[in-house]
Structure 1
Amino acid sequence: MRIDVLSLFPDMFAPMRQSIIGKAIDKQALDFNVTDFRDFTDNKHNNVDDYPFGGGAGMLLMPQPIFDAMADVEKKAGDEGHVILLDPAGRQFNHSVAQELAQYDHLTFIAGHYEGYDDRIRELVDDEISLGDYVLTGGELGAMVIIDATVRFLPEILGNASSADDDSFQNGLLEFPQYTRPADFRGRQVPEVLTNGNHAKIAEWRLKESLRRTYLRRPDLLENRQLTAQERDLLDDIKTEEMTEG
């Protein structure tokens, strides 16, 4: 996959070259590029923003630098890619959107700043995405979150290919609790079922605890989930247990 980002603050993306993503770049499994669209201004002061027509607070990004920066991306990559605008009005990002974006060979993010964009910039855009119902100072942090969540689905990115399969939201549930050595840490015991080697019992325990955590913390995820017979029985047990403990 190739990922391009258009940003006024390319140094903000230094963390993207660390950890798992950094290893993917080193292995050439990911081609990551950041373009400072201020470099493409055609005015002597290198301004990228101006006051909005009709008045109003704040400054808007002008179309010219972004249009020309996008043309440079297309020249270098051979195409513009699937172009994503980080915008509060976009569709909300989630696990499914990350899986969807991972199917593209080339993604290009436009990370804005200031009050917003000249609306003509949207002519370049294939997709508009928001992290949620709040406003950040710029699109850089949003782009980093989306990139990080997306590239985890690419082949050879994670050290263990099955890791993503157990993640929260992968099957519509929150992830079950996990433990490592020692089995007894200052009197705090690992659940016995995880140490007895019975894989069928372990799988059942993990499913039940995923359901429990989802029921207690994100019950909204269960509202539209088609539960299996086993999941319904386990959920009934959980509700009884929680009522008893409560």
Structure 2
Amino acid sequence: MSLTKKRWNNKKCTESRTCDINDKFKDKHCVNTLEQEICESRIELDKWLREIYGDSYGNFHGENDIGYDHWDRIEKLLKKVFESENHHALADSCLDDILFLISRSDEGGRIIAWLHPNVKPLSHIADLTIENFIVLCKHAIKSGEDFCDYQLAYCFHKFDSLSKDLEELLIGLFKKDAVYTKRLALESLAKHRVPNLENYITELWATNDEWAGLNCLDALKVSGCNDELFNKYREKLLKSNDEHIRTNAESI
């Protein structure tokens, strides 16, 4: 399935998660050196993004993010976090910063290896354990929308099977508001043929997003859970005014 049409208006989220470095360092939780370095990296990146995008910051497609000069430094910091046994002890404010850094690295697909869902590593920069991956997912679910959510959701493809806890996390990501996150979460749900899959398919279809409709069609084909619904959705998408939608529907 194509990863086309992935972005959305993220202005509200970005503004709500902007921080001032002086305020962050007053936070009693942001006390150790690693957390401070992560905080600094997030603020420096945020400042650069505002300079690059100007007034459009927060309402953009993000293609320039990968051009930031200091991703190497960020990756070294996150490698320490991902391979730490104390990942669960990080302050929520620091986890916010980590998710922000992940979100802006999506075009590279290195920090979270979401662009290669059938390749086992969860990250190309570190040995990200399942336990630490779960920490990230739990925090993402309770946080505002951002570009990290769909990266995490798509990585559930990498698991041979889902425990009950992993299944609940994936459903939690599917329940977030952004349609693109729902789309990639549904693909992972379909891959694992979770119970009540048809309910998630119809929920996504109800968004009336034709690109999401293609994911619904693909999920129905992969799971084989309802041939009648598959034919109904496919017939509707084949009548789309968008040539790309029709072409994709024909190929499924």
- Larger Cα Rg: Structure 1 or Structure 2? 1
TM-score where L is the length of structure 1:
0.31
TM-score where L is the length of structure 2:
0.30
Bigger RCO of structures 1 and 2 (CA < 8 A, at least 6 apart)? 1
Bigger proportion of residues as strand:
1
